[in-house]
Structure 1
Amino acid sequence: MTATHPNAAIAVHNLQFQWPSGQPVLQNCSLTVERGEFCMLLGNNGSGKSTLLRILGGLLKPQAGEWFIESPVGFVFQNPDHQLVMPTVGADVAFGLVEEKLPLADIRNRVDDALAAINLLDLKRRPIYALSGGQKQRVAIAGAIARHCHVLLLDEPTALLDPDSQIDLVKRVRELVKERGLTALWVTHRLVELDYCDRAFLLQSGQVTDEGDPERMKALLQTA
């Protein structure tokens, strides 16, 4: 089912999700992300953040509710090793284009454009195993850019990175959103990352209980 909104890239209305055991995860969860926004989703472990992202990414199906997401969608996992499947950087970015049956020249152009966008063009032939964690996450993002994804879903993409790489990645995603007219929903529990988003949502016990200005949300959570 779809929840529509005039300028929404993501719209969720009253989503309900529970595991087969009967344990509820999302309960009447609702939010809207406008086209061109970089939004962050906050919440404690078990609040339903990753579950919501997986529903939006088509990896899980809720029991009830309505949702809409503008396609195509790129999903970036917490651990990039779970989604990088080819031996080299360029080959991995190109792998996602197989289904489009593009001419070889178009594939090369898209791969080069995507790698240039995340400042890794000079590592096109580098083996995946030789990359840092931050570089691997950039390759995962490049795969979405090469497929001309309109929406990026990022599930705690900085969780396994060192502090400098964390900030570098969130800055680059913000730049991509603004430069290319993308929309991004980024799951985090790091309050410092709120400095780079347009809006933030707080998910508690499966519901969005607050949303709005990142600075207000940051101050609220710092005093909680």
Structure 2
Amino acid sequence: MSQHPAITVRDVSFEWNSGSVVLNHCSLEVPAGEFWMLLGTNGSGKSTLLRILADLLPRKSGAVAVNGQVGFVFQNPDHQLVMPTVGADVAFGLVEERLTVPQVRQRVTEALSLVNLQALQQRPIYALSGGQKQRVAIAGAIARHCDILLLDEPTALLDPESQTDLVQQVSELVRQRQMTALWVTHRLEELDYCDGAFLLEGGRVVDSGEPERLKRRLMSQG
């Protein structure tokens, strides 16, 4: 494992044009090759921070270092799946890499295998469940050989069984592929699958570390 963090955030602030402050001197480090979660109530800045890390929003001040290629998974997979079939959608993200057709096929097959969707390569996107769509989105990042996965409440629209399946799958992927993942959630049960967690309040990290301890803290707050 690299001695350098995969993600470093230093004193990052962000506010909307209305003047509403979302992040207020926020700092954190995500160790390379680990699965960490971002916790906090609605409005605490979780999704905004993730979008800044993915270069989807500009920070007002502070510094961000992301060491590796990033894949972003939205809360609603319909916002990022653009092709008609599973295989075509995973292949779509490889267009800029100028790979040969056999190389693309290999990347797609490998990525779908890792998320247990290889048998659905020809399946229309519209025929998939919500959990399967999220796994297609993750496969797209794997096919591009992303080092870091940023996942914005990826289980929010899923049923309880699919929620558990997805978080288990990402936990296994991190270990198998030696990836780094940062997962936004407010579901305390998902903390059972990560290496560590950050708690955001008022746009800054107020606690971080061992997931079980953070879970106890939040449960005691009711």
| TM score, norm. by length of structure 2 | 0.98
Q: After TM superposition, give the deviation of residue 70 of structure 1 in Å.
A: 1.9
For 2:42, the equivalent position in structure 1 comes to 45
Task: Tell me which residue corresponds to 2:151.
Answer: 154
Residue 17 of structure 2 aligns with which residue? 20
Asked if residue 36 in structure 1 is aligned to residue 33 in structure 2, the reply is yes
* 1:136 matched to 2:116: no
Q: 2:102 aligns with which of 99, 102, 105?
A: 105
Once the two structures are TM-superposed, the CA of residue 6 in structure 1 deviates from its matched residue by: 4.7
The one of 97, 118, 122 equivalent to 2:119 is: 122
1:119-174, Cα deviation, whole Å (9 max, x unpaired): 00000000000000000000000000000000000000000000000000000000
Unaligned regions of 5+ residues in structure 2, if any?
Answer: none
Find the partner of 2:171 among 156, 163, 174: 174
Following TM superposition, by how much is the alpha carbon of 1:7 offset from its aligned partner in structure 2, in angstroms? 1.4
Alignment TM-score, normalising by the size of structure 1: 0.97
Unaligned regions of 5+ residues in structure 1, if any?
A: none
Give the paired residue count: 220
Other-structure match for 2:142:
145
User: In the alignment, what sits opposite 1:76?
Assistant: 73
- The correspondence for 2:207, drawn from 205, 210, 215, is 210
**Alignment equivalent of 2:86, drawn from 64, 89, 94:** 89
2:52 aligned to which of 33, 42, 55: 55
Q: Which has the larger displacement, 90-99 or 64-73?
A: 64-73
Once residues 24 and 167 of structure 1 are traced to their aligned partners in structure 2, the CA distance between those partners, rounded to angstroms, is 33
CA distance, structure 1, for counterparts of residue 189 and residue 4 of structure 2: 28
SS of 2:146 mapped into structure 1: coil
Q: Runs of 4 or more off by more than 4 Å in structure 1?
A: none
Identity of aligned residues (%): 66
C-alpha separation in 2, matches of 1:35 and 1:219: 26
* CA apart distance, 1:71: 2.5
* Aligned residue number for residue 184 of structure 2: 187
**Separation of aligned partners in 1, 2:67 and 2:141:** 14
**What secondary structure sits across from 2:36 in the alignment?**
strand
Which SS does the other structure have where 2:42 is aligned?
coil
Following the alignment from structure 1 to structure 2, what is the Cα–Cα distance between the partners of residues 143 and 71?
Answer: 16
